[in-house]
Structure formats: C-alpha cells, structure tokens
Amino acid sequence: MHALEEQVKTDGACTLPGVSIAYELFMPIMMRAVARGYVRQEHADFVADGLRFGFGLGVDVSKLRGRRLFRNYPTAVEARAAVSKATRARVEQGKTLRLFPFRAEDRAVLDRWPSWRIFPMGAVPKPMEPGAMRPFSDHTATGMKDATDLALLRHTLTALEDIARFLRHMYFMRVSDVDSAFPLLPIAPRLWRYMMFIWFDVHAGDEAGVLSYLYLHVCGDFGSAGLPGTWKIFFTDVVMGMARSEMVLTLEAPIYVDDISLIGELQRLVDHEGAALTAFLRMLGIFIKEIKDRAAAQVQLALGFWWDSINRTRTLERAQAAGVCRDAARV
C-alpha cells in the first residue's frame, strides 16, 4: 500500500494497476475541449486533480476518527458465489487489493493508523440482469457518508425527460452501457484505509471454510456517497464534452449514470456515430459493454421502458414482456 501511495504521488493515480484511463492522451483533449467551450474550467480542474492524485469523493477524513470494524450483511453471505466472483474480478484487475488472512487478533496490524474502517458489505440484485447480484459497500454505517460534503456533487438525473424530448416521431435510438463505470475512477490514497472489507479468499479453489481475507478498494465502489456525483462530472460533463469537442459526438445523447441513449433521425447515422463514440472512449481507456449494445431502432428498450417513436408511447419493460399493465403515457 505504501509503495502504491508513493506511486500516486510521483507518477499519478492513472498509473495504478487497476486504472485504464490513458492520462497522457486524456489531458490535452480535455484542455482543448475547455478552450473550445465544450467543458467548463471548474469541471476540468476537478477531473484533472482526480486523475492525477485520485478522487477524494468529497470526503473530509478529519471527521473519520477512531478504528471500527463491521461484519458483513447476510445478503452478501447468502450471495457468496456472486460476491466472490465480483470481488475476484476486481482483484484480478487491480481495482481491489487482496491484503492478507485476517482474524480478530490481526487488528493490531492496522493500528499503525490512528483511524481506519472495515465497512460492512451487502449485496443487491442488478436491475438489468435478472438473477445477478452486485456487492455494495455500506459507508453510512462507518460514518464516511456523514463525512462527505456533497455540495459540489449533487445533481439531478434527467435522462427520462431528455429522451422524451429528443426522441421525435420516427427517430431512432441506440443504447450503450459503460463497462464498470465507478470502478474506472482511482480513489485518493488518503481514503484507502477507510475502504477495507473482510471476505473469503477469492483465489481459493474450495470456498467452503476458507480463512477470511482483508481487502481494500483503490478504485471506485458501489456505495460511496460521493461517487455518483464524481462520475457525473467526469463522464457526462467532461468526457462527453470532449467527444463533442472532437466532433465524434454530434447527436443528442441523454445520459443516465453509465447508460448512453444516442438519438437521431437516420438509423445509419446513429449507428455510425455510436460506433465512433465507442472507439473514442476505448482510446481514452473507457470501455463500452459491446455485448449490451443495442443498434438504433424506432422501438428501443432503455431505462426500463420500451420507447416507441412511431406511436410516440412509452411502455413498461415488464408490461411489454407480459402483455399486461401497459403504461400508455404519451411522450
């Protein structure tokens, strides 16, 4: 951990093993977008600081005093296979550090720090993937949420209203999803000691009865109060502004966290621009789940609704599948 902290100080957070963002390429494109008026200076400064030193997520660490250890929630243990799979992927990608076997008596190892937290982990169903579970970090229990200043990070999601406004009669919509959005962002080293959790050894062949291990997130997780706002500034305000500055993106593109809905009048143009945007993001080290890409269509599934630009209706996804409980609200 100390070596990685020093690496961030000297070489930057984007050199961490789990960070894919191409810093040397990203920065001049961002500054060009600022000069052209596509990105606000304060947003660029925020992102530049986060990519260089790690994102602070609005957390005031001086408010996190003492040492506290929490047990995981039953939802995580009950979904052990799914949580282990997700944790293993993060460890293999370098976004989470697998530290050492951890027992109650090992707490003394951590007491070299005056303050630290081992947060409780739970699991919730993934809304767009039936049967899949996503682990989450409960930073409310540890007090980190109360130590977070959201003044600069509060925002409103307007994608539903934006799609309704831009998806005109007979228009086409293409839908894309950023792969592992929050974990793309490096966390500032001063927060690492508050991003620890205990879980089974994800590298053990037989998970039954293995000794618990201590893990630590060095990239974004699901549960930090400041991450949604940090991601919004990074992706919606800066990265998408960069794409417009470079003329990669010209169509309307409502964003819902990590979901992109690209809208235009001509099917060929929407798909062409969608492919160009995917290539541009990949160049920056931001990847689209291509298996989830849905080509431009006049009846398209997005954000839990079927959007029909021919009849100008919006229908609940489950109602469309079951043929019941239709929402015929006019767009």
> Which fold would CATH assign to domain 159-181+243-322?
Alpha-Beta Plaits (3.30.70)
CATH 3.30.70.270 domain extents, the chain: 159-181+243-322
Q: What pLDDT is attached to residue 125? A: 87
Within 10 angstroms of residue 127's Cβ, the number of other Cβ atoms is 10
Q: Which two tokens stand for residue 12?
A: 């930057």
Please tell me the predicted confidence (pLDDT) of residue 120. Answer: 96
Determine the Cα–Cα distance for residues 4 and 13; give it in Å rounded to an integer: 9
pLDDT along the chain (331 residues), means of 10: 95 96 98 98 98 97 94 93 92 95 82 93 80 88 95 93 96 96 97 96 68 92 95 98 98 96 97 97 95 93 94 81 43 41
Q: What local confidence, expressed as pLDDT, does residue 105 receive?
A: 75
Tell me, what's the pLDDT at 329? 44
pLDDT at 324: 35
Residue 275: what pLDDT? 96
pLDDT at 131: 67
Question: Looking at residue 323, what is its pLDDT?
Answer: 47
Single out the residue of 282, 180, 291 nearest to residue 239, CA to CA: 282
Nearest to 220 by CA among 188, 198, 193, 177: 188
- Given this model, what pLDDT does residue 210 score? 61
Helix/strand/coil percent split, the chain, to 5 = 40, 20, 35
